[in-house]
Amino acid sequence: MTKVLVIYTGGTIGMIKDPESGLLNSFDFNSVYEHIPELNRLNVEIDTMSFKKPIDSSEITPKHWVELAECIKKSYSAYDGYVVLHGTDTMSFTASALSFMIQGLQKPIIFTGSQLPIGVIRTDGKENLITAIEIAAAKDSNGESIVQEVAVYFEYSLYRGNRSSKVSSHQFEAFKSPNYPELAVAGVNIKYKWNSLLRSQHPEPIYQFDLSTSVALLKIFPGMDIEIYKGIFNLAQTKGIVLETFGSGNAPSNIAMQKMMEQYVEAGGVILNITQCSTGGVKQGAYQTSSFFNKIGVISGVDMTAEAALTKLMFVLGTCTSVAEVKELISTPICGEMER
Ligand code: ASP
């Protein structure tokens, strides 16, 4: 029988209401069958494990990403797929980070969670969990996993993890993949989009867990006083900056801002330009207001989400040993996170 490991990190999905206090508490995930007896009817052998102290995903740090990735590395030969239950708030960050930390997967790592706790009658958590397990266990006619990458399953859609973003704090349809099609849609049957699925040339996964946290995320806005952000452009502290710019990668022609960026890049800092728009990407040089970025060596993040850009920067800075290498790798698609 196909074997899937379900790892509970925390978040709303694993909560039930204490009947006395009325408060939401995490339940012991090893007793998940009591709460979702339907799992017994899936033709899948399910093991469960849980973070010692399940956390709200706002508390997630790169240390937790490493813990999760280590757990998958250690058990990789024992399971056909993984389901990671995670709070929705930062799920796309964790899924993006894991896609870089474990490349060349031959098995699925499916993230899911829910907007309503599993112990609430109208919960979306049951469907999300059951279908995520089905996807994690799904094989093609050659006996190979259909999904061989990190993905997010939520409200009937499967998205590439590093293309996903949380877009709603209250709707069941909480995630979107703004610049890449869904990998699968669950209706009466689960319809896989075969042409969109990632396939690796590597026979085994490549694990790389060194991440740099010397990164910043800066969103520009009209009238921005760059002096306030001076500290960010200090290379001793910040090795790389994800800059969220207007439209197709544009910024005001503010001399003080340009000078600060130029000096930072000259000193060896890396600036990665992504758009603030919810769809589309960066085309540096399309307008006068982005040509300066080409001149000083700001790197285009093309159509990456902020979650993918930031975690890729952490990964690349943690992995590469020279600025030239960082610039090369950050501009190269690694695992389907950006358009070629
Ligand atoms: N605050 C929660 C979290 O992200 C929300 C959720 O689980 O959906 O952990």
Tens-digit pLDDT profile for residues 146-195: 999 999 999 999 999 999 999 999 999 999 999 999 999 999 999 999 99
With a CB cutoff of 8 Å and minimum separation 6, the contacts of 147 are: 81, 108, 110, 135, 136, 138, 158, 183, 184, 192, 197
Nearest to 26 by CA among 55, 47, 5, 48: 55
Residue 25 has pLDDT above 80, yes or no: no
Q: What is the mean pLDDT of residues 89-115?
A: 98
In whole angstroms, what is the distance from residue 189 CA to residue 314 CA? 38
Domains present along the chain, CATH in parentheses: 2-207 (3.40.50.1170), 215-330 (3.40.50.40)
Residue 88 has pLDDT above 80, yes or no: yes
- Only one residue has tokens 């980070």, namely 97
Predicted pLDDT at 304: 98
Residue among 2, 9, 12, 123 flagged as catalytic? 12
Pocket of ligand 1 (CB under 6 A): 10-12, 56-58, 87-89, 113
Whether the model clears a pTM of 0.85, i.e. scores above it, the answer is yes
In whole angstroms, what is the distance from residue 9 CA to residue 57 CA? 8
Tell me the CB-side half-sphere exposure of residue 321, using CA atoms within 13 A: 0
In whole angstroms, what is the distance from residue 333 CA to residue 329 CA? 8
pLDDT-derived band at 14 (thresholds 50, 70, 90) equals confident
Could you count the other beta carbons within 10 Å of the beta carbon of residue 55?
Answer: 17
Mutate to test the pocket of ligand 1, among 8, 12, 118 (most ligand atoms within 8 A of CB): 12
Residue 47 has pLDDT above 80, yes or no: yes
pLDDT-derived band at 312 (thresholds 50, 70, 90) equals very high
Could you count the other beta carbons within 10 Å of the beta carbon of residue 339?
Answer: 11
